Each structure stands twice: as structure tokens, then as C-alpha cells.
A and B are shown apart, each in its own frame.
Chain A
């Protein structure tokens, strides 16, 4: 371990799902306390904090419950990359030597049903929403529809991705959807946006995750086996990528924010996609997992059809993906999901993932989030 290393020494989660009567902030505080207890660190020792939610309030309000220590606390609201953005800031503060112990927290609480964003918040005219185009589900459907025709991906593969998510979710006590579903049941469920059916989509939900990061002596002397955060990269979209809420897209194709962020994270870590033993990629719906596997470099475009059918992405496979059930089984509390992914790989690298533990002592993990209007954050971690 070098002096520049930053690591995760504590991880805490509030179960995902529906929690009537519990506010998002209360879930955030529960996750933060769990992470602090896991790290053996007290709240007054934390000298930097960052976090946020999309729809459940300001993260720094949690100091009223955690304790008024005067800690610098930055609120983050960056869509699905909220957690990844908080992690990026904490990583940078620790690397710069501006803090020794940092807490990051992500949480959310959404009502049932699809998200209904206001077009004007996204730089679009009211007409875009009035005419029924302001839906993330349409984007994901049209992206995978095009991808399937270009790369030979079948609907059966989309169903297999969701079936795996619910199988893994059944092994995760913190998951929302814990009932396995067969690929046949998933294919036969109600059509939402062709080619994606109801059980191929995640649902907006509730939950919270927190992590304690450390450097220097606090990392070397940590109570728990530290997990090194080898790199984290955050990117917005480039010209020519196909993104959510786009009234038009360029003919010229450019790399997606996922591809750029993943390449940057791997380069900064000095670790390649082939070295990854366990991965978490954004699975807003089944097609996203398929596409993101290739855009992150974890496989080639078009290889997913055979890769998934071979069982390679199962917990016992060559490249286990979304071992905690991903967004499909955990739901999507926007602010919480990115850190949930990191929480999961921390458990996997420590060997503490219980019934869903990846066998063979995984050494290297990768996480990826993607969200509107074209933002991605990726991280590389190792034991």
C-alpha cells in the first residue's frame, strides 16, 4: 500500500424497496451509521463528506441527526451518477491530502411508476413532454432495439439478464425483488416499450448506501480489510453519442460517456477489463446490461449473446455481473444506486457476500453507472 492509496474501510446500506413512513434522509443516516460502525470510525472523525439524492432532499441535512461537527459536506445532485460523483470528489480530496477520512452517502425515495421529469429542467421545450416523448423507457427501448439489429442480440438474452438479476436478488437480504422469475415469465410479462417487457425494467424505489473512505495511516490501520479504490472517472456525453432525452441525434457516431469513463478508469488504475473478477454495470433494464458490458470493454460488441447463454455472467461464471441483483432486483433509488454497486463489490472483495459470494477470492472489481442526460461514472477497486 502506497502513501497515495485511497481505500474503502467501511460500507453500510439501508435495505432497498418500499419503506412507508421512513424518509430518504432517515435511510441515509441509517446507512451512514452502518458504514461508520463497519469502519470503526466515529462521525466527528470524518473530515470530508459528500452525497446526495435526486428527489429526497439535501444530503448535508443529515448532520442534524449525525451530529453538528462542522464537517465540510458537499451536496451532489447528478442524476444516476450522484453516487459516483460523490465518490469522485471524496477520492480527489483524499488523494490531494485535503482529508483523511471521508464519508459518501447516496439515498432516494421515489413514488411508484415511471419517472416524470419536467422537460424544461432538461433544456427542452414543453412540447417534448406534452407529445409523450419525455420517457427514459423509450430511450432504453430504442437503444437496445437498434443494438439488437446491429449486433445480433435476441429477446431471449434480454430475458436471461433479468432472470439472473432476480436469481441473485433472491440471495441478497437487502434486495427489493427477492423472488426468482423464469426467462419465460419475463418474456411473457406485459410489454412496456418494445422490445422490453415489464420484468426487464427496474422500478423507481427507495434505499440508501454509505461508504467510509480513508488514506494514509487511517487506511493502513483500518479495522476492516481495506478495499483499494484504484480509480474513479466521471464523464458527460461527447458529440455523436445516443443519449436520453434527445430530440435528434447526429449521423456521426461518437463514444458514449460509458465508453469514455470506463476507458479512463481502467487507464488510471493500470488495470485492464480482462483483469476484472466481479463487475456491477448499470442495468436500468436488461438491454442496458447487455450494451454496457461491451461499452465498458468487459466484452466485445455482439459477444454478449454467447457470453450470457454460457453462464459467464452468473455468480459462478468467468465474469460475474450484478451479483446483488442490480437495479432490476434492487430497484432504482437514483441517488443510492451508484454507491450500492460499490458496496456490493466491497463485500465481494472482502469475501463477505454470503450466499452470493463469488468463489475463488476475487481480486479486482469494476463498477459503472449511467444516467440522463448522458453521464457515467466508473470505478476500479482491488483487494
Chain B
């Protein structure tokens, strides 16, 4: 997905430049602890000297599961429970930074394993997402509005050999 013309599910979570998505985290100036989403104080040393940091785009799968039943709505934003498809969820370890929770583009348990290389991407948000409290946007399905969220996808063998 080319990211330059999309609408983020919320501001401040990720940024898109030149078609590449980056998660917006933060780093403590005192102890170096990295967190996501951006924090304004350090969860480790309590310092408030915390600044924004764009996180690495690649990492490894630390743990995962498949969400096999439709979550209740709210808070889930799907507006057609009948169309539910199971989806993958995992924590991806960004080396030297933090482990980030994300939806995965892969929902086949046979194709997920702990330690596999993953890369950040954008996916369409569930269709009812991002529609309230954000600048009075009209209640149109988010897919029609191009609303996206972040996800991680397994890297191909070619991509891995490029590293």
C-alpha cells in the first residue's frame, strides 16, 4: 500500500514519508528506555525528559496468536460481524528498542513462528474505525475514507537476504 495518501487511524501513532511507514515511539533522555506509543514520562526511571523517536521498521516475532472470534463492538470497530475473518496478533521485537504489539498480515498459524523476521506495513483499518471524535469526520466506512493502521508482515526470503 502506498502510504502517502492515506488517513491514519489516529494522529501520533505512525508517520508515512516517501511510502515508508514508521512507528512513533519515545525515548528517555536519562536512561534510554524506549516506549511505544509515544510517552511523556519514562516508565522505568520516571524522568519527564522524554523525546519522540521513530522506531525501526524491521524486527523479529517475539510471540503471536490468532484472534479466532469477533471481538465485541465497541471497542472493536468492525461494523459487519458476519464478515469476520480471523486475524493474527503478535509482539515484534525491534532490536535494541522495544517489543511492539501489532496486528499481523498473516492469519495462518502454520506460517507464523517465534523468531521470524517481520517488517512494518500499513493495512486498512476495520471498517468502523477512526470515525468518531476526529474533526467531525462524516460516518462513512473507514475503508472508503482510506483509514489505515499499522501491522507487521513476515519478510520474504529475498528481503531477508538483502539485509
Closest to A150 in B: B114
Contact pick for B75, options A117, A138, A143, CB 8 Å: A117
Nearest chain A CB to B117 CB, angstrom units: 17
Q: Which residues of A contact B130 (CB under 8 A)?
A: 127, 130
Least Cβ–Cβ distance between A28 and chain B, in angstroms: 26
Cross-chain contact A134 with B71 (CB below 8 angstroms): yes
A247 touches B101 (CB 8 A): yes
Contacts of A249 in B (CB 8 A): 91, 98-99, 101
CA A149 to CA B63, docked complex, whole Å = 9
CA distance A240 to B31 in the complex (A): 14
Among A79-87, A188-196, A330-338, A360-368, which stretch is in contact with chain B?
Answer: A188-196
Question: Is B82 at the interface (CB under 8 A from chain A)?
Answer: no
- B residues at A contact (CB < 8 Å): 9-10, 13, 25, 33, 35-37, 43-44, 62-69, 71-78, 87, 89-91, 93, 96-101, 103, 109, 114, 125-126, 128-130, 132-133, 149
Q: Shortest beta-carbon distance, A354 to chain B, in Å? A: 36
* Subset of 5 A-B contacts with CB under 8 Å: A130-B9, A146-B114, A192-B68, A193-B65, A248-B98
Cα(A133)–Cα(B67), bound, Å: 9
Query: Is A141 in contact with B100, judged by CB distance below 8 angstroms?
Result: no
- A250 touches which one: B10, B74, B98, B109 (CB < 8 A)? B98
Contacting pair A247 B37 (CB below 8 A): yes
Give Cα distance in the complex from A193 to B71, angstroms.
12
The answer to the question of A142 belonging to the interface, with a C-beta cut-off of 8 Å to chain B, is: yes
Q: How far apart are the CA atoms of A126 and B129 in the complex, in Å?
A: 9
What B residues does A126 contact at CB under 8 A?
10, 75, 132-133
Interface residues of chain B: helix, strand, loop or mixed (majority): loop
Residues of A within 8 A of B93 (CB): 251
Give the bracket for the number of chain A residues in contact with chain B: 35 or more
Q: Closest B-chain residue to A149, C-beta based?
A: B114
A113 contacts the other chain (CB 8 A): yes
Additional 12 contacts, C-beta under 8 A, given A130-B129, A240-B44: A126-B75, A127-B149, A128-B75, A130-B9, A130-B77, A130-B125, A131-B77, A133-B101, A149-B114, A250-B43, A250-B99, A251-B98
Looking at A114, A131, A239, A240, the one whose CB has the most chain B CB atoms below 10 A away is: A131
- Provided the pairs A126-B133, A130-B129, A132-B126 are in contact, do residues A141 and B98 lie with their beta carbons within 8 angstroms? no
- Chain B residues near A252 (CB, 8 Å)? 44
Query: Which A residues are in CB contact (< 8 Å) with B36?
Result: 247-248
Most chain A beta carbons < 10 A, residue from B71, B93, B149: B71
Q: Are B65 and A239 in contact (CB under 8 A)?
A: no
Interchain nearest-CB distance for A295 vs B (Å): 17
**Structural contact, B65 and A250, CB atoms closer than 8 A:** no
- Distance (whole angstroms) from the CB of A308 to the closest CB of chain B: 22
Interface string of A232-253 (1 = CB under 8 A from B): 0000000110000011111110
Please name all residues of chain B whose beta carbon is closer than 8 Å to the beta carbon of A247 when the two chains form the complex.
36-37, 100-101
Known: A193-B68, A251-B99. A146 touches B35 (CB 8 A): no
A118 in contact with B74 (CB, 8 Å)? yes
A225 part of interface (Cβ distance < 8 Å): no
Any chain B CB within 8 A of the CB of A135? yes
Residues of A77-129 contacting chain B, CB below 8 A: 113-114, 116-119, 125-129
**What residue of chain A has the Cβ atom nearest to residue B8's Cβ?**
A127
Residues of B within 8 A of A125 (CB): 10, 13, 37
Contact A146–B126 (Cβ < 8 Å): no
Of B87, B91, B126, chain A has the most CB atoms within 10 Å of the CB of B91
CB pair A129–B76 under 8 Å, yes or no, is yes
Query: In the docked arrangement, what's the CA distance between A277 and B35, Å?
Result: 42
On whether the beta carbons of B75 and A130 are closer than 8 Å, the reply is yes
A145 at the interface (CB under 8 A from B): yes
Are the C-beta atoms of B37 and A134 separated by less than 8 Å?
no
For B88, give the chain A residue with the smallest CB separation.
A194
Residues of chain A with a CB closer than 8 A to B96's CB: 251
CB of A114 within 8 A of CB of B72, answer: yes
Given contacts A131-B149, A132-B87, A149-B114, contact A194 B75 (CB under 8 A): no
Known contacts A125-B37, A138-B89, A250-B44; is A130 also within 8 Å of B76 by CB? yes
- B76: nearest residue on chain A (CB-CB)? A132
Given contacts A130-B76, A145-B63, A191-B68, are A248 and B101 in contact (CB under 8 A)? yes
B125 touches A239 (CB 8 A): no
Residue numbers in A under 8 Å from B9 (CB-CB): 127, 130-131
Q: Determine the distance from Cα of A119 to Cα of B128 in the docked complex, in whole angstroms.
A: 16
